[in-house]
Structure 1
């Protein structure tokens, strides 16, 4: 799927196959997720060089290996974080590749995974082995939304059993957050404008669901929790959802910002007076380094986390090209997965 300019109609067409860079690999894409971040790239909210191939959540099979790769070979089942560290800097060496200053991001800094093949850099630092019992579609969902939600709760907010977690937004990342919070023993409130998404959140373990229909969300959360949640997550990324999440916290609560907040009409206002007066912690979660995947994968293998339950639909590249321009307004209740091998003429 190729985009030739900001907000141009995506087209599916033949392009040259990628070449494995030194230290990197080429992966045959078996599944790749579509999320709001891909829409942001299409809409011009990121610095993209055109023509461009989007797509940053992927799983597949190593097809070609570049020079100086020691850990991987053709045929390996792999996934990758959407933030790929350089493998050389102090951040990568300390296990924090997700904030590497020289990071690469498939679908943003270079051509991504809405294609049959994708080139990936620094393979020994960034690739993650996918166990045989984990399907490609489920593995693809881990690279951005699920891993970011997992690290946001387990690594950044350090959610404890019995704490209240409010999740604003029940799309792919929000539903991932609901599932992970329940697996960590938290009590969950899900907030969304989409009734189907709230139904899905309830099926995944949300104790309460709140529709966005003009109600005072922070007041409703305070009533349900006896003073506010311990942790709140903005899984959408807007001035309103960010404020609702922060104002839903109890004193000394922790806010995790996962949804992107691009300054489309100016930088969003944040209720900092509440942050200061109640000593709230504001935390960002920007993916998860490959070295932190084993803990999450162990929970998946144990059945405590089931990312495959979040997959709402699987489409081919042609349908994905039609969906992308309107994806910011899509009434989804889960994750959309793209199978590059599936097409209108070959739907299987």
Structure 2
């Protein structure tokens, strides 16, 4: 099969012929119809993820496709089934899985990290009975692929972990794929959303998906809302300030951004989400909160990160991590998609083939929205 391969961390990403995987016991091989380009793949390529232990390696973890082959012990799935996959693949039998918390499975696998991933024509998925989700007939493969990581991660972060309620202020730091998903989902939940990024184009998309206000990385805030009693999400906002160069590791964190959010919200956000994952955006998210607010960390933070713990203690803040979403939790999200309340398809701003995947991964963050790779596209 054709796949995107790297031989050393940070080295050139090449498309070459590699062996097609065989279905593991209890698992399947999928023909990849669409796979998303995600910042987590960039982290893996750079050597930030300890799960990648053997090189060469094939990245890719956000996917949808068709069951090509079924391993022994699989009873619920057949060749030809259209499916998507949560990026955290659970074992189904550990203590966490027994409690319904497959997203933190003690023996989890992740395509693109623990084994070769989906930047390829085929990918192996273990424990198919607990890790595959059937595609609704009307859903396209690119839309379904976007639900495997970023959108599902944002859905659980907003709804289950962040416990966002109507009327609350929600700040989203970083408007890449997962951040824009969080903006859309929080707005659909009735929250008033403030989007933060250094890219005017990303903020324009955030506004389109329901952000009531935007703050740029230069700590220059739009102020469309004068008070916590201001208009609801989706109302028009003024024009953005002059463009700023996009730092691929920055969403515009900093004390100025936090102060702007506190001013816009009359004291701070109820919930603030770091959807990028950098020391600056994490600290800014925490400092954006009002007393007893909730910080949700989605973006990966390699290594140790200094946090403003004095504020955490003095304001009695909650610091929460959110790591994907279990396959059994997808129905609530899919119902909202089917009803048109959520539109993950609108997040996809370009599609490319495998030959373009390497340069696109190296330039992650340079194109707003979600980039989807179609392995069959030449």
- Range into which the TM-score falls when normalised by the shorter chain: over 0.9
* Structure 1 contact 171–333 (Cα < 8 Å) conserved: yes
1:134-213 equivalences in 2 (<5 Å): 134-213=139-218
Structure number with greater CO (CA < 8 Å, separation at least 6) is 1
Which residue pairs with 1:250 in the alignment? Answer: 290
**Runs of 4+ residues over 4 Å off in structure 1:** none
**How far off is 1:326 after superposition?**
2.9
Quick one: which of 37, 55, 63 aligns to 1:58? 63
Separation (CA, whole Å) in 2 of partners of 1:323 and 1:333: 12
Q: CA deviation at 1:331?
A: 2.4
1:257-276 to 2 correspondence within 5 Å? 257-263=297-303, 267-276=304-313
* Cα distance per residue 1:2-47 (max 9 Å; x no partner): 1111111011011111100000000000000011100001001012
1:324 partnered with 2:345: no
In structure 1, the residue matched to 2:333 is 296
Is the CA contact 1:24–1:65 (under 8 Å) kept in the aligned structure 2?
Answer: yes
| Bigger shift: residues 137-146 or 213-222 | 213-222
The answer to whether the Cα contact below 8 Å between 1:194 and 1:331 also exists between their aligned partners in 2 is: no
The 2-side partners of 1:200 and 1:71 are apart by: 39
Where 1:29 maps in the other structure, the secondary structure is strand
3-state SS in 1 of match to 2:280: helix
- Would the aligned equivalents of 2:64 and 2:142 in 1 still touch at CA under 8 Å? yes
Count of paired positions: 338
**Cα distance, 1:148 vs. partner?**
0.7
TM-score, scaled relative to structure 1: 0.96
Match of residue 333 from structure 1: 368
Paired residue for 2:232? none
Aligned-residue Cα RMSD (Å) equals: 0.8
- Specify every segment of 5 or more residues in structure 2 that has no aligned partner in the other structure, as ranges: 221-255
Q: Which of 222, 229, 236 is equivalent to 2:269?
A: 229
* C-alpha distance after superposition, 1:222-279 (max 9, x if no partner): 111111110000011111100111111000000000011002xxx2211111111100
Secondary structure at the residue paired with 1:143? coil
Unaligned runs of 5+ in 1: 344-348
Q: SS where residue 12 of structure 1 aligns? A: strand
Q: CA deviation at 1:56?
A: 0.1
Deviation at 1:182, TM superposition (A): 0.8
Residue 70 of structure 1 deviates from its aligned partner by 1.4
Picking from 222, 239, 242, the partner of 2:279 is 239
User: Contact conserved, 1:29 with 1:60, CA < 8 A, in 2?
Assistant: yes
What secondary structure does 1:41 align onto? helix
Give the deviation of 1:92 after TM superposition: 1.1
Q: Which residue of 2 aligns with 1:346?
A: none
Q: Give the Cα–Cα distance (whole angstroms) in 2 for the partners of residues 303 and 323 of structure 1.
A: 30
C-alpha contact 2:219 2:260 (8 A) present in aligned 1? no
Partner Cα separation in structure 2 for residue 83 and residue 68 of structure 1:
21
